[in-house]
Structure 1
């Protein structure tokens, strides 16, 4: 299992905890933790070379 998959599993666990949370502060805390785990997973994919470091936009000039 890839490291990024482990991070995504952690994010999923946090989302499940957020759904069961009793109270808004706890729900927000688990939601933020899930977002952080997803960010780590995406960064790990980048480090592993699975996604490009920068998305390149090609701008087309009008009338060209």
Structure 2
């Protein structure tokens, strides 16, 4: 199992905990944890070379 898949499983577990959370603070905490795990999974995919780096295009100034 890839590391990014483990991170996604952790995110899914956090979402399940958020659904069962008693109170808004716990819900928000688990939701933020799920977002963090998903961000880690996406970054790990990039580090593993499965997702190409984002190309940032800087517009060139046109001559007036």
Structure 2: where are the runs of 5+ without partners? 58-64
TM-score calculated relative to the size of structure 1: 0.85
Alignment partner, residue 47 of structure 2: 47
Query: What's the TM-score, normalizing by structure 2?
Result: 0.85
Tell me the alpha carbon deviations over residues 3-62 of structure 1, each in whole angstroms, 9 at most, x when there is no partner. 0000000000000000000000000000000000000000000000000111467xxxxx
RMSD over equivalenced CA pairs, Å: 1.3
Unaligned runs of 5+ in 1: 58-64
The size of the alignment, in residue pairs, is 58
Q: What aligned pairs does 1:21-60 form with structure 2 within 5 A after superposition?
A: 21-55=21-55
